């Protein structure tokens, strides 16, 4: 019996040593290896990794794109409107060594940085810009985050603002403003149309005033339109003799 117990202990010790020595990294994983506390220049993996027990330790790093929801942030816009904004960021580790050595927890650090950057960037814009220019704001936030996380070996590939929540009273005010803007545009378009019509009428009146024949032909055209209705009585506003002379060239 003692012999079997010793064999069991030896087997457990051998298994422990084996698991301490042999590590297998998946295709999307890299291993940052510390040898007596010092890290190498490049991460190991993927595949089979052999470590020296007690001398080397390894920390795994996931190299896939990570998706992180930025919690809703209270933002005061440049025109003093209070809104709640949340977003989502997409980032990945491009340098596993720096992600482990340069920052304690790169996930938490990236999340906190995203929150402060979101408040900082959006606070410089008015509410209308937040609602209408999201693509530009997304790009601005992404560039700032990418620049600041570069030292940590992090690449921020995309930022998307998901929701901009406005207080109900502000929604009503925005609706009234939009309605007033539509009415203003309708009045401007109507006034421009009347102005163009008046200009054309004035030009036509000038042409007709300079040619008596043109005026008489205009009378004839009007009479033809009236004559289409047989119930109308036609009264000629000028003599037929004058009309004949005008058409005949004054003969």
Which pLDDT band holds residue 160 (cuts at 50, 70, 90)?
A: very high
185 belongs to a structural domain: no
pLDDT in tens, 97-156: 999 999 999 999 999 999 999 999 999 998 888 888 899 999 999 999 999 999 999 999
In this structure, the answer to whether residues 81 and 166 fall within a common structural domain is yes
Domain of 121, CATH number, reads 3.30.479.30
Confidence of residue 16 (pLDDT cuts 50, 70, 90): confident
Same domain, 157 and 223: no
Q: Tell me which of 61, 76, 96 is where a domain ends.
A: 61
What mean pLDDT is predicted for residues 157-166? 90
Domains of the chain: total? 3
> What confidence score (pLDDT) does residue 1 get?
45
Question: What is the per-residue pLDDT for 10?
Answer: 73
Q: pLDDT class for 248, splitting at 50, 70, 90?
A: low
Confidence class for position 60, pLDDT limits 50, 70, 90: very high
Q: What is the pLDDT of residue 180?
A: 74
pLDDT tens-place string over residues 78-89: 888 888 999 999
Q: Is residue 177 part of a domain?
A: no
Q: Is residue 178 a part of any domain in this protein? A: no
152 with 100, same domain: the answer is: yes
Name the more confident of 168 and 164: 164
In a domain, 225, yes or no: yes
Mean pLDDT, rounded, for 67-88? 90
pLDDT number for residue 90: 97
Give a yes or no: residue 130 inside a domain: yes
pLDDT at 192: 84
Boundary of a domain, candidates 139, 171, 203? 171
Note down the domain range covering 41.
Answer: 10-61
Say whether both 30 and 89 belong to one domain: no
Please check the confidence at residue 13 and state whether its pLDDT lies above 90.
Answer: no
**Tens digit of pLDDT for each residue in 184-238?**
888 888 888 888 888 877 777 777 667 666 666 666 666 666 666 666 565 655 5
Q: What is the DSSP string of the chain?
A: -HHHHHHHHHHHHHHHHHHHHEEEE-TTEEEEEEETTEEPSS-B-SEEEE--TTTEEEEEEE-S-EEEEEEEEEEE-TTS-EEEEEEEEEEEES-HHHHHHS-S-HHHHHHHHHHHHHHHHHTTS-HHHHHH-HHHHHHHHHHHHHHHHGGGTEEEEEEEEEEEEE-HHHHHHHHHHHHHHHHHHHHHHHHHHHHHHHHHHHHHHHHHHT-HHHHHHHHHHHHHHHHTSTTPPP--SS-HHHHHHHHTT--
In a domain, 57, yes or no: yes
């Amino acid at each position: 019996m003692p012999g079997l117990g010793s064999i069991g202990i030896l087997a457990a010790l051998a298994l422990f040593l084996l698991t301490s020595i042999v590590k297998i990294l998946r295709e999307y994983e890299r291993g940052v290896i510390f040898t007596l506390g010092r890290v190498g220049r490049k991460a190991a993996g993927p595949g089979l990794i052999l470590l020296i027990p007690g001398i080397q330790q390894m920390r795994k790093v996931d190299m896939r794109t990570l998706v992180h929801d930025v919690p809703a942030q209270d933002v005061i816009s440049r025109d003093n409107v209070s809104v709640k904004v949340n977003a989502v960021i997409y980032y990945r580790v491009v340098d596993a060594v720096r992600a482990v050595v340069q920052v304690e927890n790169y996930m938490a650090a990236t999340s906190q940085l995203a929150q402060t950057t979101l408040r900082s960037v959006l606070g410089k814009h008015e509410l209308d810009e937040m609602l209408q220019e999201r693509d530009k704001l997304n790009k601005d936030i992404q560039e700032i985050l990418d620049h600041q996380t570069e030292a940590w070996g992090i690449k921020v590939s995309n930022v998307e603002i998901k929701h901009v929540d406005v207080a109900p009273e502000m929604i009503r005010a925005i609706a009234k403003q939009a309605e007033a803007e539509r009415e203003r545009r309708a009045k401007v378009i109507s006034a421009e149309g009347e102005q163009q019509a008046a200009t054309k009428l004035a030009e036509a009146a000038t042409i007709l005033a300079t040619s008596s024949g043109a005026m008489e032909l205009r009378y004839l055209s009007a009479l033809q339109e009236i004559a289409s209705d047989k119930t109308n009585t036609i009264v000629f506003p000028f003599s037929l003799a004058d009309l004949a002379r005008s058409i005949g060239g004054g003969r």
